[in-house]
Chain A
Amino acid sequence: MDDSMPTKGLIAYRILVFLLLMITWVIFSGLMDGFHLTLGLISCFIVTWMSSDLIFQNRRLSMLVRMKQIVSLILYLGWLFWQVVLSNVHLLKLAFSGSKAHEPQIVKYESKLETDFEKFMLANSITLTPGTVTVKIIGQTYYIHAISDVAASGLDGEMERRIAKIFAR
């Protein structure tokens, strides 16, 4: 861990991680009596103490920026869900149409995203949208298998702009 990190940010992040873990515990246990809540408190405390640095990578960001990111991430997931619906309708059409509709190809896509999480989001989003699956990521180049010309032309960078907007400082 880097020594130059301000400790104030660290404590706020620890509290955030602890709250996230505790909410998950309550939802999944569903038992509200003192015994089980105490067990939850103890185990969440131990996990936070040992590995609270696993969830958030850059802990120098202020909480306010983090919250903004989380809100825009949720909005983005809403948009992504609509893309998933379109993707499944597209697939349904392809499955029941003749084999002439298939024009499989592997295309290249250059992105400007840098951090691992951004890359992961983009790769997963590409896989979830109509007719495209990420095969390989080498550096910042994505190799994408597209099932038809229409699907390949859908990779126009709109998704990348949306993801870049979430993590813009």
Chain B
Amino acid sequence: MIQETIITIISTLLILCGLIFFLGAAVGLLRFPDFYTRMHAAGKGDTLSSFLVVLGFAVYQLHDFKFTEAGFKENWWVLLLILKLIGICAFIMITSPTSTHALMNAGWEDDIEPELKHKDANELEKDYPRK
């Protein structure tokens, strides 16, 4: 009973933290000035927040898991389930920055003008002018 309560509280906290970071990403997506800065919000907010939410699910799976030999024999598949969820996390950690990079690159190739702090703050345009 005590274990159930503790596990539920931990997993709820993890999922809530994840949702806060998702909120930050959504607000950033709407408020940032141009395509490139918006990609910062979309690409990074996703990584940690989905990680935390999935981790919350993984912890919740332990809520009726008994840490005895009989418990392991009965519920070993729970551990496999947790490994699967961690696999999802690892996949997100690899694909999210890769897709962000691909979109940034595509945006640059497609002549989207970045909004800069001043005109000269663009080393890429200096080295490889597009027009």
Listed in ascending order, the chain A residues whose CB lies under 8 Å from chain B are 26-28, 30, 84-85, 87-88, 91-92, 94-96, 99, 102-108, 123-124, 127-128, 131, 133-136, 138, 141, 143, 145, 147, 149
B24 to chain A: which residues have CB within 8 Å?
88, 91-92, 95-96
Using CB atoms, name the residue of chain B closest to A124.
Answer: B97
Contact between A124 and B98, CB atoms less than 8 A apart: yes
Contact between B117 and A88, CB atoms less than 8 A apart: no
Interface residues of B, CB < 8 Å — how many?
48
Contact between B28 and A95, CB atoms less than 8 A apart: yes
Contact between B104 and A145, CB atoms less than 8 A apart: yes
Contact between A131 and B40, CB atoms less than 8 A apart: yes
A105 to chain B: which residues have CB within 8 Å?
116-117, 121-122
A95 to chain B: which residues have CB within 8 Å?
24-25, 27-28, 31-32, 41
Q: B100 interface residue, CB < 8 Å from A?
A: yes
Contact between A102 and B114, CB atoms less than 8 A apart: no
Q: Which of B47, B77, B105, B124 has the most CB of A within 10 A?
A: B124
Contact between A88 and B44, CB atoms less than 8 A apart: yes
Closest Cβ of chain B to A55, distance in Å, is 14
Contact between A28 and B37, CB atoms less than 8 A apart: no
Contact between B28 and A94, CB atoms less than 8 A apart: yes
Contact between A91 and B125, CB atoms less than 8 A apart: no
Contact of B31 among A92, A99, A145 (CB under 8 A): A99
Q: What CA separation (Å) do A144 and B121 show in the bound complex?
A: 11
Q: What DSSP secondary structure best describes chain B's contact surface?
A: helix
Using CB atoms, name the residue of chain A closest to B86.
Answer: A27
Using CB atoms, name the residue of chain A closest to B40.
Answer: A147
Contact of B100 among A104, A108, A133 (CB under 8 A): A133
Closest Cβ of chain B to A134, distance in Å, is 5
Listed in ascending order, the chain B residues whose CB lies under 8 Å from chain A are 20-21, 24-25, 27-28, 31-34, 36-37, 39-41, 43-45, 47-49, 51, 77, 80-81, 83-84, 87, 93-94, 97-98, 100-101, 104-105, 108, 114-117, 121-125, 127-128
Known A-B contacts A88-B21, A91-B25, A106-B125; the reply to A145 vs B36 at CB < 8 A is yes
Q: What CA separation (Å) do A19 and B85 show in the bound complex?
A: 20
Q: What CA separation (Å) do A145 and B37 show in the bound complex?
A: 8
Contact between A133 and B31, CB atoms less than 8 A apart: no
B115 to chain A: which residues have CB within 8 Å?
104
Contact between B105 and A136, CB atoms less than 8 A apart: yes
Known A-B contacts A99-B33, A106-B122, A128-B47; the reply to A91 vs B40 at CB < 8 A is yes
**What are 8 of the A-B contact pairs (CB < 8 Å)?**
A28-B87, A87-B48, A102-B37, A106-B125, A107-B121, A127-B44, A135-B104, A143-B127
